[in-house]
Amino acid sequence: MSFRRLTRSLLAAGLATTLAAAEPAPLASIQVADAQRLLQHWNAGPFARAWQDPAVAPLRAWLDRRMPEVVAQVGFDPLAVIAASASCRLVVTGLGTAEDQRLQYHLQADLGAKAAAVFAAIAKHGTPVAMDGCDGAVDLGSGADAMRVMLSGGRWLVATPADRADPRPQPVAGSTDLDLRLDGPVLAEHLLGLMRGGPPAKRPGAEAEALLRRVLPLATCRTDLVPDGFSSALTVSGTWQWLRPVDLRLLERLPPSVNDCSAVAIDGPALWQDLGAPLLAVLAQYEPGLKPDQALARLGAATTWADLVQGSTGTWMLAQSAGMPLPGYSLVVPRSPAIDAVVAALVRQGGGELPPEGESLPIPLGKGVPVMLSLARDRGHWLATTDTAMPAVWLGQGGAGWNTTPLGRLALEKAGTGACALAVSDTGAQLRSLGSTLGMLLSGAKELSPAERQAVIALVQRLAALAKPGWSVLRHAGDHLEGDSVGLTGGSANLGLVAVAAGMALPAINHVRESARKAASGNNLRQLALATIVWANGHDGAFPPSLASLDKHGVSDKLLRSPAAPERADAYLYVRPSPDGTSLQPLIVEDPAVWRGKGCMVVYCDGHVGWLDRARAQKTWDEAKRLAALPAAAAGGIRPEDWEGAIGPVRTRMAAPQAAEPAAEPASAGASF
């Protein structure tokens, strides 16, 4: 090879590597590599067979009558689009920034001959944009909120943000009907990036970073549609040593009436060391006043969270039994001194008594609850159940034998010797038990005729006849976890186990995201307050008539929108103050609805920002709406005393607004940012 050819090859390889590195790593993806294969498997599966049952004909006719209306509304036939599809791929590439936390994603669907019709229907609602490499492109929305929809050959593509849209098709390949992937390590880095963009006191320490990386695994789930429903294979990175083999001897103590059973085994000390203690340490960083053990003390339980988590060692089990009109539910919990203390406190709160060891007692649940709860204990476990027959069987006073039933034998077979999580279900029996309940629910569906309501019941009954027992199991496999499941509901049990484990970190993650949004909102409000002060200094102390008047002072439309609800243009409410306003007079109030009523941000006339709790937030927002609508607000501004009926005296008179550093917030005004 000549030197020139070698140089050209090296440059090409380097350029390719650079371009590949520039593409963001996906946080999560879901893809259908062969839509026609998936449709064939669907048509051979239980759902399609149940739908084609003659007894369901009235329901099919109901759908046929309504399909023309759907086509008229959306501009294309959804069922025809599905039938023409070849593949589909959705990739989530980012969570945005601390200021704009919208998902960033790219959707690619190969719709074949129907792609142009779908694009044309959507293009009617968008703004055309010129874009190389595609047959057409439109933006839905405007500015930072825009979503770009593109047509490239037979492919229909959607991307956000619009300025990162790429019309080049991405390869879609796979040997299973449906592939899901969650890249926990990449997600962790995105979340940490949001956290680092917050105020210094809220930035993650080494312990928080290590915890987040540990609890978010790389997980893949590959699913095929099979005659029994779904067959899924799950792989999760990491070993999660706090999971231990399920004690299968507990299955022998269940009655034959159990038609659904899930079990997971925990090593409490390992769970505390791996997740519990680090999680509480991280929460303490973001909520310095948080005292988790005080919550247990208020409950009346003389224990700590450390003892409670470490005492959770053993197998936890949830079982469902056949029953009319409602099934029975039973929860089995391993005993420890800490768990005993919590159970005793809960029973005392309800006005009940603890049963002696080896016995059971009913526990009052309050008026209007249509079931009775029984509590039983033996040397190793607590049992809480709504199945009246369960306590006697569990305590060895009646016949057990669930492990000899077909469902019990299936559980033992699939569990083997090392399952750390297990779920089995007689799905058909569960669907049959819905009969009377479904009839009552459908009695209120006035839009359906009696024949159509009967067809819904027939559809469920047909599914019950086709459904076979399903199962799901999770076990250690070297340096990772592996799970398998088969049944009408697919891999939901396996995915649920991952969700439960990841959910242990959600309080910290959600708090981090909320703190980042609060910090971004506070920054917005500070800048807006500064702009109003600059205006007032140039207009003899008079504040601007509206925030829209500040466009010459660097106030953009994005700054006028709350990061907690960027789609809303009215989340900030400006209450124009009079020139002799005071430092504690609210200037801009945020709508508590953007925080789901938990509170809101407020910026005051001296530029400091505070967080109001639930009660004060709603009261202040309501008063802000009333005052902003008064003629006095437009004429000269709202005086301090006009606020006093809602939030109390607003003291500390301001001689004139000054463009200075925000003042420190007094304790009475809320938490500062």
pLDDT tens-digit profile of 244-289? 999 999 998 999 989 999 999 999 999 999 888 888 887 777 676 6
How big is the chain by its Cα radius of gyration, in Å? 30
Question: Where is pLDDT greater, at 400 or 217?
Answer: 217
pLDDT tens readout for residues 575-603: 998 887 667 788 999 998 888 777 888 99
Tell me: pLDDT of 11 over 60.
no
Least confident of 147-161, 329-343, 441-455: 441-455
Most confident of 114-128, 497-511, 556-570, 603-617: 114-128
CA 125 to chain centre: 29
Whether residue 658 has pLDDT greater than 60: no
Please compute the mean of the pLDDT values over residues 621-635 and round it to a whole number.
87
Q: For residue 47, what are its two tokens? A: 């759902």
pLDDT the model gives residue 645: 57
C-alpha distances in Å from residue 35, one per residue of 28, 84, 106, 136 = 20, 9, 18, 24
Does the pLDDT at position 419 exceed 70? yes
CA dist 539 and 528 (Å) reads 17
Report the pLDDT value the prediction gives residue 446, as an integer from 0 to 100. Answer: 72
What's residue 307's pLDDT?
94
Between CA 419 and CA 497 the distance in angstroms is 13
What is residue 659's predicted lDDT score, i.e. its pLDDT? 37
Question: What are the backbone angles phi and psi of residue 637, rounded to the nearest 5°?
Answer: 115, 160
Q: What letter would DSSP give residue 653?
A: B
**Which own/partner pairs from 597-604 qualify as long-range (CB within 8 Å, at least 24 positions apart)?**
601/518, 601/521, 601/522, 601/525, 601/562, 601/673, 602/525, 602/670, 603/522, 603/525, 603/526, 603/528, 603/529, 604/529, 604/665, 604/669
Give the pLDDT band of residue 40 (cuts 50, 70, 90): very high
Instruction: List the alpha helices (DSSP H) in 247-389.
Output: 268-271, 277-286, 292-299, 305-310, 337-349
350 pLDDT higher than 60? yes
When the pLDDT of each residue in the chain is averaged and rounded to a whole number, the result is 81
- Mean pLDDT of the 384-409 span: 87
CB 417 within 8 Å of CB 395: no
Map 500-565 to HEC letters.
Answer: HHHHCCHHHHHHHHHHHHHHHHHHHHHHHHHHHHHHHHCCCCCCCCCHHHHHHHCCCCCCCCCCCC
d(CA 12, CA 653) in angstroms, rounded, equals 68
Evaluate if residue 53 carries a pLDDT over 90: yes
Q: What number of CA atoms fall less than 13 Å from residue 107's CA on the CB side?
A: 10
Task: Assess whether pLDDT exceeds 70 at residue 506.
Answer: no
Q: Identify the pLDDT of residue 647.
A: 56
Q: Which residue has the tokens 């997600």?
A: 187
Beta-carbon contacts of 552 under 8 Å, excluding residues fewer than 6 positions away, are none
Query: 448: buried, middle or exposed (CB in 10 Å: 19+, 13-18, 0-12)?
Result: middle
Q: Left if phi > 0, otherwise alpha if psi is -120 to 50, otherwise beta: which for 575?
A: beta
Average of per-residue pLDDT across 654-662: 38
Q: Name 588's bridge partners.
A: 574, 603
Residue 670 has pLDDT above 60, yes or no: no
Three-state SS at 110: strand
Q: Where are the beta strands (DSSP E) in 227-286?
A: 229-237, 258-266
How confident is the model at residue 151, as a pLDDT?
A: 92
Pairing of strands 127-128, 178-183: unpaired
Alpha-carbon distance 395 to 352, whole Å? Answer: 20
Distance CA 7, CA 27 (A): 36
- 133 pLDDT exceeds 80? yes
Does 364 have pLDDT greater than 70? yes
441 versus 502: which is more confidently predicted? 441
In angstroms, the Cα distances linking 135 to 56, 119, 149, 157 are 43, 10, 11, 11
Q: How far is CA 634 from CA 211, 572, 579, in A?
A: 52, 17, 13
Nearest of 49, 46, 53 to residue 427 by alpha carbon: 46
Between CA 524 and CA 521 the distance in angstroms is 5
Q: Which amino acid makes up residue 268? A: G
Residues 6+ apart with CB under 8 A from 100: 144, 558, 563, 566
Give the pLDDT score at 646.
54
Q: Binning pLDDT at 50, 70 and 90, where does residue 420 land? A: very high
DSSP secondary structure of 148-208: EEEEETTEEEEEESGGG---SPPP---SSSEEEEEEHHHHHHHHHHHHHTS-GGGS--HHH
Dig out the tokens for 297 from the structure. 């003390």
Counting every residue written for the chain, the total comes to 673
Residues 6+ apart with CB under 8 A from 138: 122, 123, 126, 127, 128, 129, 148, 149
User: Looking at this protein, which amino acid is placed at residue 468?
Assistant: K
pLDDT of residue 315: 95
Lowest mean pLDDT: which of 269-283, 479-493, 559-573?
A: 479-493
- pLDDT beyond 80 at 369: no
Mean predicted confidence (pLDDT) in 332-359:
91
Q: Which residues pair with 179 in a beta bridge?
A: 31, 222
For the chain, the first-to-last Cα distance in angstroms comes to: 64
Mean pLDDT lowest among 28-32, 384-388, 463-467, 514-518: 514-518
pLDDT (average), residues 370-385: 90
Q: What are phi and psi of 217, to 5 degrees?
A: -90, 170
The yes-or-no verdict on residue 439 having pLDDT over 70 is yes
- Model confidence over 84-97: pLDDT tens digits? 999 999 998 887 66
How much is the pLDDT for 162? 81
Q: Which residue has the tokens 């792609």?
A: 115
Instruction: Provide the token pair at 357.
Output: 């060891």
The pLDDT, as a whole number, for residue 617 is 86
For residues 230 and 548, the answer to whether their CB atoms sit within 8 Å is no
Q: Indicate whether 204 pLDDT > 80.
A: no
Query: Which of the two residues, 463 and 18, has the higher pLDDT score?
Result: 463
Please state the rounded mean pLDDT for residues 367-386: 85
Mean pLDDT of 502-509: 40
What the block records as the tokens of 531 is 């702009």
What gap in Å lies between CA 219 and CA 30, rounded to an integer? Answer: 12
Highest-confidence segment of 199-213, 460-474, 652-666 = 460-474
Query: Residue 144: its pLDDT value, please?
Result: 64
* pLDDT reported for residue 18: 33
The residues with which 610 forms a beta bridge, in sequence order, are: 602, 672
- Of 538 and 665, more confident: 538
pLDDT digits 0-9 by tens, 315-339: 999 999 887 667 889 999 999 999 9
Residue 313's pLDDT is what? 95
- What does pTM read for this prediction? 0.67
Mean pLDDT of 288-303: 82
Count of other CB atoms within 10 angstroms of residue 173: 10
pLDDT at 498: 39
**CA contacts within 13 A on the Cβ side of 347:** 20
Mean pLDDT, residues 125-134 taken together: 88
Q: Maximum distance among all alpha carbons in the chain?
A: 90
Name the DSSP letter for residue 273.
I
